[in-house]
A and B are shown apart, each in its own frame.
Chain A
Amino acid sequence: MNPKIKKIKEFWKDFSSNKVAVVSLIVFMLILFVAVFAPLVSPTNPYDLNTVSIMNSRLAPFSEDFSGNYFLLGTDGAGRDMVSAIFYGLRVSLGVGVLSGIFALIIGSFFGISAAFFGGKYESVVMRIVDIQLSFPSILVALIILAAFGKGVEKTIIALILVQWAYYARTARSSALVELNKEYVDAARCLAFSNTRIMFKHILPNCMAPLIVVGTLQTAHAISLEATLSFLGLGLPITEPSLGLLIGNGFEYMYSGDYWISIFPGVALLITVASINLVGDHLRDMFNPRLH
């Protein structure tokens, strides 16, 4: 059998031993599907002014309007269907979370692996910056960036990258330090491969397992953080309605008892973040040699 396929099969056997993690993965896949194909699976386009009617404002869940449109989760203050708004919101939230995660992974592993590889002053400076940054809570780092530079899509993504990169850098460095002692690195050095090639073609792939664990947990964290920032009015602008903005919009109606406008986007956010966390948690246990 192809060794790659065999490896994947072994991995799946290990992964599927935890039912909760498997269910979470399926749930996450569904959410991902909905987010990617939001325009196709949504009952209406919540941001098309021709189909949204202010007459339908704040309808309760399971209600119909005069023309027979059915609103499973009700409508918000502007008369938008909540189901569609949530689907589109998932798209924005996941998009921002995953994008910032990928950038942070690239930047963090670059600095982490190069710090381990070159050592010396460079390593101590990089790791000192990582330590200092990790001593600040993520919300504070994001708050500093957004309070100082203002809100916006790019700024939110930059803030989320800055919050996350240090975690990747620390993880990448510690696994690269282990890999550096292995013989294949000596072999690659003997073949006079360039440093870049050794770092990113040889060492990086062997550091991927812990980086993926950090990646899943950090992405969940980034999605949650973005929602918080957008709720506070510091993150994404109204033109990019993420789940956090939807929850924030519903907050003003809470006191009059119109609970669904805030609650349902929050449930969607919770399911998304929890499913990623549960998968990540199981992956971490799988890769942790101390537990075996």
Chain B
Amino acid sequence: MTNDLTRLTADALATKLAAGDISSVEATQAHLDRIAAVEGAVHAFLHVASDSALAEAADIDRRRAAGEQLHPLAGVPIAIKDVIVTKGMPTTSGSKILEGWVPPYDATVMTKLRAAGLVSLGKTNMDEFAMGSSTEHSAYGPTHNPWDLERIPGGSGGGSAAAVAAFEAPFALGSDTGGSIRQPAHVTGTVGLKPTYGGVSRYGAIALASSLDQIGPVSRTVLDSALLHDVIGGHDPRDSTSLTDVWPSFAEAVRNADVAGLRIGVIKELQGDGFQPGVMERFREALALLEGAGAIITEVELPSVEHAIAAYYLIMPAEASSNLAKFDSVRFGLRVNPKGGGTVEDVMSATREQGFGAETKRRIILGTYALSAGYYDAYYGSAQKVRTLVQRDFAAAFANADVLVSPTAPTTAFKLGEKTGDPLSMYLNDIATIPANLAGIPGISVPAGLAAEDGLPVGIQFLAPAREDARLYGVAAALEALLEEKWGHTLLSQAPDLSSSEMNATDEGAV
């Protein structure tokens, strides 16, 4: 039943497309067929753009046949997180308040994808406005982890990670405010990178927290993330926080991967208590492999990390409460008229009550509180000072190490429903990923294996100084090669084949 084309990496698809071995229509149709086969179980997509995807693919095939010089990735399919606005495809950010909204413009990353000829398969599920670590806060129902359908795919970008892990797309776009690219990668056995803040334009990404948000790549291999990053990165005059740096080729960084002499600092505070034994086991094994390949493993301390979550859960809701004020029932999205009418403010309040989910309301209220008169200095002001302390810690650590390393998250995928009743325990799960967002530095999560106790994927996170994203691609690609050599296969080749497990489910009554 499995179509071979969906098992190929984006890089391999690109090679076959360029050689004329396959057409973009064939590659696109194979992924649409796979989506049709497994979406009932996974629910990674909020919108599948079958018709426009096949039309885009046919156009690429036509241009290639006409001898046009195309981008190396032209004709390769891709999935787009629903936080990114897309002309012609509905964009909801996982919220009822934007149900059915078709944006009148493209995000800059979409403009770049279209210019490179990538084929958009559709929009992926996410926690509402990217608020969550499990996709359970999506207004359209959760995504299921392809490794175990009873478990979370991570969040907020669980849809993009699950789509890639379930071979519904070779790669995808994600966004990362506190770990929404890296933590889903960790729990689904995939790769995800949060670029340096400003490395990728945020224009057209529906803002959660503007000083923390960053768009980045999600894929099955380190090279595919690098290839995608090379397409979406770079300066954008439409985003005033976009960096003007000229970036090196990240694909080249992957191809030249070498850890000999690389100083890798193990973050002392991000291990031990609260970290699952199977997560730590894979972590230490990965470090031993890197050391064997010539890396120098040292220990570094980030003492302010213990306050990072607290600072994050003040800064992020504060910025979110401000950003989400735009959902006012006037220019786009839902409008709810209260019984008996009312003023525009009454309409606004009724619309936001009905259109926002519980987590979004919680964070808006929390942020409004943190910014309100009398509390602003104590909470928001103090959180911004903690941000300075976290940055200073990183600066000191990077004086003695080229990259830092930690497990990406404390545990493997937890069960759907396990933490929804306790928001704080969900928040604490983000401990390892949040510091990079506070400091604006890049971070990558790459598969490290399966935890012995539950057989679920474990990721390892590398962090680099701001603007040094290429280092992450180098070290992650080196580790990926070492691990796959040791295993004799990719991690995702061990994931359940969902199309057959669904059939078993009807026979056995259980998956």
A and B: bona fide binding partners: no
Report which A residues bind B (CB closer than 8 A).
Answer: none
Residues of B within 8 A of A (CB): none
